[in-house]
Amino acid sequence: MKPVIFGVSGLELTAEERDFFRDADPLGYILFKRNCGDRAQMKALTDSLRALSGRVDLPILIDQEGGRVARMQPPVWPAFPAGAAFDALYEKAPISAIEAARANGQALGLMLSEVGVTVDCAPLLDVRRPEVTDAIGDRALGGEPMRVAALGRAILDGLRRGGVVGVVKHMPGHGRALVDSHLELPRVKADAAALEVDIEPFARLADAPMGMTAHLVFEAWDQDRPATLSPIVVRDIIRGRIGFDGLLFTDDIDMKALSGTPGEKAMAALAAGCDVVLDCWARMEEMVEITGLLPDAGPECLDRLARAMATIADGPEAADIDALIAKRDALLALA
């Protein structure tokens, strides 16, 4: 098994993808809007990926945060609110906000489980700051670390109840980025003392089963390399100071913040200490290059993967998605 998550090009596997994935045996897959037609189509696609891998607990990822980051969209699926909605309610009624976030997470999990998706790249634990790029913006759960952690914990719990593993992101914090890492490399000049604010939510949720790195240079820790490619940040900050021992994904290595060929970036991320490379765009030439260079997943990676997927081994708890959404909406109306 190769320690990489690959994208899929369309609503079903092509013959070329089927043959390639069978031989490459990636650790899992990630779905985007291009893969989300309707319930029957998505279930058929995830079933085919699972059958091809021969693994019942195959990680099939999606970015379904709510708000502007939603691959499964109306009218087929319900819309979910962005993180800022729960932050606004927390301002007035913290306990109600936590309950709303948990109900929202469980409803999300049930929606994803229904179509065979097992991992959601949420919650976002980046601490929002007013003067930075809108790449985070209303996706954030707030600008106060304890609040972000409390709401993030509720979302993780809700997702697990819905039969889905959550991924905390973007470690060790994307909140200070002045530019969008999809387009260029952000550099954070804050000193180590100031950065304690950014890492606090991740430290409070260090027992999360899965996490994702940020493509940001933190000059206080490593002047030259973004976190994803920095052994110092991964070893000393994410694994050390934060104490995270879950499965660590890179953010998408195709983002313009990183330079080099796909294979070079993938190898550098593994050398830095990331467990799994995320390559999203289903470009066959890139996937072939990455697969040819990557070693097989090592025992630490496989152990972390098994522990993460074991958290949803019993499947979703029985619940009514419409009732959960109604509960969330009634609570959010209090704001």
Closest CA to 155 of 204, 106, 207, 92: 106
| Residue 182 annotated to the active site | yes
CB atoms within 10 A of CB 300: 12
DSSP for 14-82, written as a single string: -HHHHHHHHHH-EEEEEE-GGG-S-HHHHHHHHHHHHHHHT-TT--EEE-EEETTEESS-TTTS-----
Residue count of the chain, please give it: 335
Q: Which of 87, 120, 126, 251 is catalytic?
A: 251
| Interatomic CA distance for residues 128 and 145, integer angstroms | 9
Q: What are phi and psi of 224, to 5 degrees?
A: -110, -35
Contact 25, 53 (CB under 8 A): yes
Q: Which of 25, 182, 236, 254 is catalytic?
A: 182
Q: Which two tokens stand for residue 282?
A: 């289903």
Angstrom distances, CA of residue 64 to CA of 107, 119, 201, 276: 12, 10, 20, 20
Active site residues: 182, 251
